[in-house]
Amino acid sequence: MFSQQTMTTLALLLLLASCVRTYADLLDIRKYGVTPNGDITMALQKAWRDACVSMTPSKIVVPSGKYKLRQIYFMGPCKAPIEVQVNGVLKAPKNPFHLNGQYQWVRFEYIDFLNLSGNGTFHGRGKMAWKQNDCQTNKNCLKLSMNLGFGFVNNSVIQDITSKDSKYFHVNVFGCKNITFTNFKVSAPAYSPNTDGIHIGKSIKVNIINSKIGTGDDCISLGDGSKEVTILNVTCGPGHGISVGSLGKYENEESVEDLIVKNCTLKNTNNGLRIKTWPGTPITSLASDLHFEDIIMINVSNPIIIDQEYCPWNQCSKQSPSKVKISKVTFKNIKGTSATQEGVSLICSSGIPCEIVVLSDIDLRFNGTTLMTAKCVNVKPLIGMKAPTCAY
């Protein structure tokens, strides 16, 4: 299932993580006057400035301990690779207004060869913000901050760190190429609103491997322009599952292509594997070559879903069908338990029906005993071994 190109990319990125260990410049933030429980913002800015202008690889170290951190940008381009090793707990302001309306609390931008590592935690302290989140009913709701943003970051690795209790999405990946998350952890309660684990948009060659994501919304979501994404050995739950979309809400959206989700476990999630598009979309776009294989479901509501009538909070009209073309989708070797009897729901567009959707070796049981049912609209899936018969 994995292409030679994908394996080569993973190997190169993991090599970056393991071999860039000898640094001419080792920048411990304690040298910049920081003490535990103090504010680390200015020290990190100074350390980043020194590392970014260095002609040789640099390493910034945040030692064990707890530190306060205000909103911060790590901006490139820089002259050599940089590792930021966070071993402590970085704590965001509790009050969302104290982040100055910034969309990300910690943002990395225009950087090549970044390694963000360590066993530390980016703690968003989101409980106060969650109580103020009224976006379900208020289109002009308060703009809340994500924990981590990666914009135009290339050939980079994020490994071993934890994102906890973000006020909004935990991680946003935008405009990136060749970026890998490995042994990455996201932690937030199921009731935390809009706290997607990792959201990807307009990026190519994004890898999420050997990671654990528990949150209050999608564990991983792919927005438009996501291409060559590999999700491998990821445990998801709680959350809303692994989602392609939502797509088609805005004009000039780019296609989503070449997704592999393999060897993953979803536990107690609201959804499992989901593709969702808005009805009444302004222009035609494409979601193609999406492959889900070797997945374990444990008490998952709605394990397998294509929903081309996605319209949360009645924000749209279903009178006009979705114009997102979905094709070449494979669900293979999906096993476990469904919390709902309708374990497969393929609701495709009446305007542009789905094409080449394959169901093969699907063994999902409702409450662990009863075989689940399947519903198919505007699609005739190709049925392989041990797959449910669709009710049309």
For strands 355-366 and 324-338, give the pairing. Answer: parallel
Q: Which residues pair with 244 in a beta bridge?
A: 222, 275
**Under 8 Å CB-to-CB from 11, ≥6 apart: which residues?**
none
* CB of 120 closer than 8 Å to CB of 84: no
Collapse the DSSP code of 58 into the 3-class scheme (helix H, G, I; strand E, B; otherwise coil) and give the result.
Answer: strand
For strands 285-300 and 324-338, give the pairing. Answer: parallel
Q: Is the peptide bond preceding residue 238 cis, with omega within 30 degrees of 0?
A: yes
Known catalytic membership, residue 240: yes
The token duo for 173 is 């990946």
* CB of 344 closer than 8 Å to CB of 388: yes
Q: Distances from the Cα of 1 to the Cαs of 5, 235, 261, 357, in angstroms?
A: 12, 20, 10, 17
- Nearest one of 346, 335, 347 to 371, comparing CA atoms: 335
Widest CA span in the chain: 68
Residue 341: count other Cβ atoms within 10 Å of its Cβ: 12
Alpha helices by DSSP H, listed for 205-276, are none
Q: Which residues pair with 149 in a beta bridge?
A: 107, 172
Q: Distances from the Cα of 339 to the Cαs of 115, 159, 213, 372, 390, in angstroms?
A: 40, 33, 20, 10, 19
* CB of 239 closer than 8 Å to CB of 215: yes
Pick the catalytic residue: 123, 170, 199, 240? 240
Residues noted as catalytic: 240
